[in-house]
């Protein structure tokens, strides 16, 4: 089913409400990575150029669980956006308060300060819709969650995708029918991605594992992983993957282990059969890196979701950095699945050398698994509901 894009609307003198994903990393009240803000700028600048009566932005930040948490205020993002646009961005005290009609650009305070946002409450969505004439969704990073600001709101006013959302759908759609051989790298700190792996394992020719996911599958395969982090709830599912798609799965053969989870911890390289008790696996070893490069060299399409080691610590960044450098120098179509993977690629200065770096971690993974994302489904329904 189709959905509308920004260029399907005449925005002149209209009130436009734009859902962005400004769930940015923060440390001591300061933004540590502006990527999601800068990626939203083409949509924002286009809207402003069309001379709307007002632009209203909305986003969530963190998980305040329906309570006002000062450290999760969107104030730093409003200030940063204002500096990038060289325009004032007025932040409301509450996302449900009446919006001043005198301000050209308004940002609603954190949507998740109200539990109704994550509950996809219809009245909450209707209240947000009452502020505007047209709805634009440019928050691909939140598209896999059916919340009031990207689902319920679409029942009350005509909507469309922004440029970032449109670009994400376009690039990620190419991976749904990839040029083969197709290899996917699965890493990261969250083991619960395994639940989505069955569909991806069927699609891919090879699946290369790192991070907590690799630990979980190694454990399911009967390996001793010492004190390494793994996801117990998906351990059984890992065993199922091993039985069903074992010929596609590539696991580490050697790893970098540390005595503790610290940047300056004692560390060494060991075979996967020799992980010491009470030590933690924090990166892949050099033999694994070469094995993975050989597999990747056969590929024509690669998707990568999650770093393969603790890239934030210099001693345990080699696996992620070297795989990134290898792909950056290749002619392989490479799609980075957002979240920490995107942060690592940006940190190592490789973003411009990849085919596409997604702004959505979980959203990109679910999309690549062939799942219909709730926010996209809502805009498809919106296309049928409103004729413009």
Q: Hey, which residues are catalytic here?
A: 36, 190, 339, 362
| Cis, bond preceding 376 (omega within 30 deg of 0) | no
Ranges of beta strands (E only) in 117-231 are: 134-137, 159-161, 182-186, 206-209
Structure tokens at 62: 């963190």
User: What does residue 304 show for φ and ψ, rounded to 5 degrees?
Assistant: -135, 120
CB 218 within 8 A of CB 372: no
Quick one: tokens of 74?
């969107």
The 3-class SS string of the chain reads CCCCEHHHCCCCCCEEEEECCCCCCEECCEECCCHHHHHCHHHHHHHHHCCCCEEEEECCCCCCCCCCCHHHCCHHHHHHHHHHHCCCCEECCCCCCCCCCCCCEEECCCHHHCHHHHCCCHHHHHHHHCCCCEEEECCHHHCCCCCCCCCHHHHCCCEEECHHHHHHHHHHHHHHCCCCCEEEEECCCCHHHHHHHHHHHHHCCEEEECHHHHHHHHHHCCCCCCCCCCCHHHHHHHHHHHHHHCCCEECCCEEEEECCCCCCCCEEEEEHHHCCCCCEEEEECHHHHHHHHHHHHCCCEEEEECCCCCCCCHHHCHHHHHHHHHHHHCCCEEEECCHHHHHHHHHCCCHHHCCEECCCHHHHHHHHCCCCCHHHHHHHHHHHHCCC
């Amino acid at each position: 089913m189709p959905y509308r894009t920004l260029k399907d609307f005449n925005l002149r003198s209209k009130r436009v409400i734009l859902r962005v994903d400004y769930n940015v990393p923060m440390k001591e009240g300061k933004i540590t990575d502006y990527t999601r803000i800068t990626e939203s700028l083409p949509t924002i600048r286009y809207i402003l150029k069309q001379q709307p009566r007002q632009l209203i932005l909305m986003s969530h930040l963190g998980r305040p669980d329906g309570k006002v948490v000062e450290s999760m205020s969107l104030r730093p993002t409003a200030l940063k956006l204002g500096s990038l646009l060289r325009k004032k961005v007025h932040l409301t005290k509450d996302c449900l308060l009446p919006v001043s009609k005198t301000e050209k650009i308004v940002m609603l305070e954190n949507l998740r300060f109200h539990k109704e946002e994550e509950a996809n409450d219809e009245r909450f969505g209707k209240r947000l819709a009452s502020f505007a004439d047209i709805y634009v969704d440019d928050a691909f990073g939140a598209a896999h969650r059916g919340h009031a600001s990207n689902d319920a709101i679409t029942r009350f006013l005509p909507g469309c995708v922004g440029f970032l959302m449109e670009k994400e759908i376009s690039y990620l759609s190419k991976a749904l029918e990839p040029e083969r051989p197709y290899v996917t790298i699965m890493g990261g700190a969250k083991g619960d991605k395994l639940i989505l792996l069955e569909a991806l394992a069927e699609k891919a020719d090879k699946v290369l594992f790192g991070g907590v996911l690799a630990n979980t599958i190694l454990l399911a395969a009967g390996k001793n992983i010492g004190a390494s982090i793994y996801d117990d709830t998906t351990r059984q599912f890992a065993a199922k993957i091993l039985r069903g798609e074992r010929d596609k799965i590539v696991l580490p053969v050697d790893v970098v282990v540390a005595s503790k989870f610290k940047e300056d911890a004692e560390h060494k390289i060991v075979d996967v059969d020799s992980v010491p008790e009470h030590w933690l696996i924090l990166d892949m070893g050099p033999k694994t890196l070469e094995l993975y490069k050989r597999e990747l060299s056969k590929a024509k399409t690669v998707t990568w979701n999650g770093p393969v080691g603790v890239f934030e610590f210099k001693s345990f960044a080699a696996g992620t950095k070297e795989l990134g450098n290898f792909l950056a120098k290749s002619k392989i179509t490479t799609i980075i699945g957002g979240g920490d993977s995107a942060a690592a690629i940006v940190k190592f200065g490789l973003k411009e050398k990849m085919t596409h770096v997604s702004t959505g971690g979980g959203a990109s993974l679910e999309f690549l698994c062939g799942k219909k994302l709730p926010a996209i489904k809502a805009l498809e329904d919106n296309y049928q509901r409103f004729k413009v």
